[in-house]
Structure 1
Amino acid sequence: MKILYAEDEPFLAHIVSDGLSSSGYAVSVIDDGANVLDAFGRIIPDIVILDIGLPGKDGYMIAAELRARNPQLPIIFLSAKSLPADVVKGFKSGGNDYLKKPFGMEELLIRIEALLHRFGKSGLTADAETRLPFGSCILDVRNQILVTSGAEHSLSYRECSLLRMLIERKNDVLRRQDALMSIWGDDNFYNNRSMDVFMSHIRKMLIDSPEIQIISLRGIGYKLVC
C-alpha cells in the first residue's frame, strides 16, 4: 500500500514516515503543498495524509483538488488545529478523517487500516515483513505474538511496536524520543515511565533466550543485542 504524506515539520515527518514504513507501507513525504498534486500524479497513492498548515498551498485546498480528481481516494488530516470549525472544514473540503496533533502511531495506523477497508483496499501486503526473527525468537507482528524457545507470548500493540523497533535496529541504538513519538505520540514524563514498564515486561518474556539482551543506555535509549 502506498501512502502520500504531506508534512512540513521535518522531525514529525521522520517519525511518522518511519512508523508507517515499519508497518509495511511505502511512504512518500512531501513538505510543500504546492508539490502535492504533481506527486499524487506520479505516485498514485492508496491513501493521502495531509497536514493543514503546509507552505505553498494549505491542506484544505489540496484535499478539495484531490477529491475532484478521485472521489474514492481516502484522505486523512493531521493537524494541530483543534477547534470544531477546523474539523468541520476538513471534512467539507474532502477529508474522510481528522486526527489532532499530538497523536500516537497506534491510533493513526488503526485509522489508516479502517479507511483502507472502507474503500475496499487491503492493508499490509508483505507477509514476510510481519514475521521478524531475532536470536532464537520470532516476533509475529500481525498477530502480536512473541515466540521464544520456551513459550508464546501475546503482546499489546505498544509492546509489539516497541519490540519491532528494537529488532529493526538490532545491535544499534533505539533512541527513547524516537520510540516515544512513534508509539505514544508524546515524550512526556508519564509516557517515559510507561515505556520503561513495557520494556521491563519484554525483558521478562525474553528471559529464556539468554543470547538476547536489551541494554539500557542512560539518557539515550536502548539497544537489542543478539
Structure 2
Amino acid sequence: MSYKILYAEDEPFLAQIVSDNLKSKGYEVLQAADGQTALEIFKEAKPDICLLDIMMPLKDGYTVAEDIRKINAGTPIIFLSAKSLGEDVVKGFKSGGNDYLKKPFSMVELIVRIDALLARFTGVQQTGNSQTLYQFGNCKLDTVNQQLQTSAGNYDLSYKEASLLEMLILHKNAVLERQEALMKIWGDDSYYNANSMNVFMAHLRKMLKDEPHVQIMGIRGVGYKLIC
C-alpha cells in the first residue's frame, strides 16, 4: 500500500530533498509551500499523514494543525521545525501534533517516526508487544488512540508521551533506565533528546498529579520508576 504524505515546507531545497527521499521509499508525496495550500490539499486529498513546517507563509504550522484537527481528529501530524524550545514543542502538541522533529534531522529518523505513527493510526501491526490497552491505578492508557484516562478527565497524548507511559507501565514498580527509553523511542541518547524526554515526562507527571496511588519517581542518574 502506498501512503499519501502531505508535506508542507516553504524552503524549496529542503522540500525537494525530503520529498525525493520519501518518494524513493514508496510514499506518495503531496507538497505545499505555504500553510493555506497545505490545508486545501488536506481537504481534497485526505492524506494518511502530515509533515508540517511551523514558520510558513499565509498560515503557520500550528494554525494548519488546529484547522486539520477541526476536520479530522485522527490523521497523524509530525512537526518539522528549527524551533526547539520546550514551549515550542508543547505548543506543537497542544495544536494537534503527534510528534515533533527538530531540524536538521536525518531521513532515517523521519521515516522511522512516519512508519511508527502510520502503524498506530492505520492498524498496521509491528513486531513486538501487541497490547494496546493498559490499566494502572485508577487510570487507563490507550496506545492506539494515544489517550490517557484519569479520575480528573481524559487527555490526548503525543506519540512519544504514549510510548513513554507505555514503557513505564511495562516496568511499573521497577526502574526504567533513561538510556533504554531514549534509544527505543528517540533512536539515540543525545543531550537534546534527553532534554526532550524531560519535557514529556514533566507533562505526564502533570496529567497524573491528582492520582494519589500513581507516581512517577525520578531515580537520579539512572531513570524513572512508575509506582502504582
Residues 105-155 of structure 1: CA distance to partner in whole angstroms, max 9, x if unpaired?
0000000000001112549xxxxxxxxxxxxxxxxxxxxxxxxxxxxxxxx
- In structure 2, how many angstroms separate the alpha carbons of the residues matched to 1:121 and 1:84? 31
Structure 1 gap segments, 5+ residues each: 124-226
Is the CA contact 2:78–2:100 (under 8 Å) kept in the aligned structure 1? yes
Tell me how far apart the structure 1 counterparts of residues 49 and 92 of structure 2 sit (CA, whole Å). Answer: 16
2:89 matches 1:95: no
1:2-151 mapped onto 2 (5 Å cutoff): 2-122=4-124
Q: Which amino acid aligns with 1:85?
A: E
Counterparts in 2 of 1:138-217, with a 5 A limit? none
TM-score, structure 1 normalization? 0.53
Distance 2:123 2:34 in 1: 27
RMSD: 1.2
Contact 2:8 2:51 in 1 (8 A): yes
Q: What is the number of residues matched between the two proteins?
A: 123
Residue segments in structure 2 that go unaligned for 5+ positions in a row: 126-228
Give CA-to-partner distance per residue, 1:2-55, whole Å, 9 cap, x none.
000000000100000001000010001100112122111221100000000000
Q: Secondary structure at the match of 1:119?
A: helix
The TM-score with structure 2 as length reference comes to 0.53
Q: Could you tell me how far apart the structure 2 residues matched to 1:66 and 1:41 are?
A: 8
CA distance in 2, matches of 1:93, 1:107: 23
**Matching residue's letter, 2:106:** G
Residue identity matched to 1:107? E
Cα deviation, residue 70, structure 1: 0.6
Report the AA paired with residue 89 of structure 1. K
* Equivalent AA in structure 2 for residue 37 of structure 1: L
Percent of pairs identical after alignment? 63
2:132 alignment counterpart: none
Query: 2:53, 2:81 within 8 Å by CA — same for their partners in 1?
Result: yes
Q: Which has the larger radius of gyration?
A: 1
Q: Secondary structure at the match of 2:52?
A: strand
Residue 34 of structure 2 aligns to which amino acid in structure 1?
D
Rounded to whole Å, the distance in 1 between the matches of 2:123 and 2:30 is 18
